[in-house]
Structure 1
Amino acid sequence: MTTLSAPSDLAAFAEYVREQLGRLAPTFVPEGAADPNDDRIASVEELREGHEEEVAQVRSLQAALFDAGIAWPSGPVEFGGLGLTAAHDAVVEAGLSDLGFPARDALFVGLNIVAPAIRHHAQSQIRADELTALYRGDKIGCQLFSEPGSGSDLASVSTKAVRDGDDWVITGQKVWTSMGHLADVGEALVRTDPTVSKHAGLSMFLVDMHAPGVTVRPIRQMTGGAAFNEVFLDGVRVPDSHRIGELGEGWRVANTSLGSERSTMSGASGPLTPYVLERLSVLVRRLEADADPVHQAQIARTVAAVAAMRAAAGLSAGSWSHQLEPVAGSVLKMLMVRALDEIVRLVQAVLGERLGIDHGEPDTFAWAEFVLGVPALHLAGGTDEIQRNVIAQRGLGLPRP
């Protein structure tokens, strides 16, 4: 665990981060210009075949950030953090992006979905062991929530866990598991009591993804990648010490993970990165779309949607209205997917058939993967319909239909 200290003042912290990243850059930032034949733009986490070297580099980078004390500025000191704020986290993310460090997509689920559940609900020894391992890159995490018969109605999961002495035996199937093929641990929502209401009968466990009985099968997506997976759990034994939260509190733990996922998707680690916006700006100017009255209205809608998302994401925890503060993650996620939709509409309008046919022209067909990936983000972290229900019922107190 790092014993380094860092200044809390944001300006001084930014300088501190620049110094630390400057020391790491020679090891992790590629020399020279990017490969001109690889100008693809992605909107969802993608790791192609032959990714072993890339994943190893990401793990090594995360370990270096941890040892430098900047892997988790907002985290508790006892787990390798600095005890600072989310604004300090954003400073690090911006610095990594500005200096051209490799993207850490493989770590997104573990750091932003699994780790918050462990931090807030797991037993003390699991918190100490697993949070350090996740934030140092020693372990990659995945989320074992959705099932073939339980999509939007997540509380209806049927994967079951049966007590056997000090262990639980888990049997069932999960699907759409991002990074499951890379994961070392998985946060599994399972049914421990089928005799009570569906929400009350759920519990959460941390599963060793290398344990006997775990089978992972990648799912090929229309983007060409295979970041999603089916996961089969066939009598997998998990010690009770790896339960996250109390028995029957799985739904509460799941909401911690989902809330963090929705909020994070609209931040610096989400799909709407400065890189995407820079590439979009270059495209619009190169094609002179900003001077074309046909495209000006869509450009305005895109700018407004991105500005709204950024403004909402920049609010401090106490700045939300009393009604909406508990569901801020859902609000941010809806603003994020709206901004992505507007970008897709703009790209489709200005590129036309060049978006779908590769003529070899730079910065045209490169957007195809981004466009194909955006629909998945209407589902990730809960569908748009679920988000609207959460905002209406939990945030605004409106009655159920």
Structure 2
Amino acid sequence: MAPPGMAAAADDGRFCLPWAAPAGAAQFENWGDSGIVVTSPLTEATSTDVSGDKQQAQMGGAMTQSVAVHVDSCAVSKDGSSRDQKVQRRLAQNREAARKSRMRKKAYIVELESSRVKLAQLEQELQRARQQAPPEAMICSALRFHPAINYRVYSASAFDLEYARWLDEHQRHMTDLRVALAAPQIGDDDLRVLVDGAMLHYEHMFRLKGAATRADVFHVLSGMWASPAERFFMWLGGFRSSELLKVLAGHVEPLTEQQLVGICSLRQSSQQAEDALSQGMEALQQALADTLAAAAAAGAGAGAADSVTNYMGQMAVAMGKLATVENFLRQADLLRQQTLQQMRRILTTRQAARALLVVSDYFSRLRALSSLWLTRPRD
């Protein structure tokens, strides 16, 4: 005979174990005696569905959380890897900058050591001059500390080397311009970048000449850094702006009427400035010659002591006049620089590109003529 709990379950036709139904969804009878739970079919089905849904929801949530954690970990790893790459790249850049800085420092130290050796040699020569000719040594000592003289350590060959490098870079700019003008797909914006780069390169050359002028004005003025044919046409250490505009006028066409007027006006003003600088240079040469002649006449009729004193005074005056040569040379370079800038403003981008090529070809032909002349057969 079945127990009461079993009879109830038999009437329903089903038995359910205690762990098959969730708490709160079943009725408990005689829990302490048998532990059998009696449920109805509707309750059991509902509880089973609810349990399955909850389990699926829990499994879906767990999977979502695991995927999110995996994605976050991947993002963190990628972000960390990118940050590491940036740090490594920055460290590499810092090492390269430090290496270049050390190289510059070594070169500077070598240059200082070379200057020190040259200075020691000059001091030794000056000491020998004092022992051999005391009056001349007194003159040199007086001139050395004259306020009108500014002694600098320089090397004329350094400017020659820098100018040679400038020429190589200039040829690269001209090649780029030539290729761009020959390519029909090149737009004005891209061509303007090349033209502006060539103009900036000219400004770099003027800065080099300015530094060389302060170091040795006669080296720049003589044009020994240029080819012989270039020196033949040279005016105050460079080209004449008016002659350059004359060369451009016939090769940069078609020009509008307004452009023609602008170029003619620029050429006229350049010619006037060149004439003024030339007259000033001639007056300076005459004044310097008169100063040296007066010093020679005064020294001829004076005693030894007075001769040295007059010589020192007149040479100090002459040195002061020579300082004016730097001003003339700087003004001539400024005129050349402003002429190129004005030409760039008057012409269009393509016309300016052709003008730069015309100027470059003109000076290239002068250098080629010099090479041919130097290598000509001699009887």
Q: TM-score, normalised by structure 1?
A: 0.23
Q: More strand by proportion, 1 or 2? A: 1
TM-score, normalised to structure 2's length? 0.24
Mark the structure with the bigger radius of gyration.
2
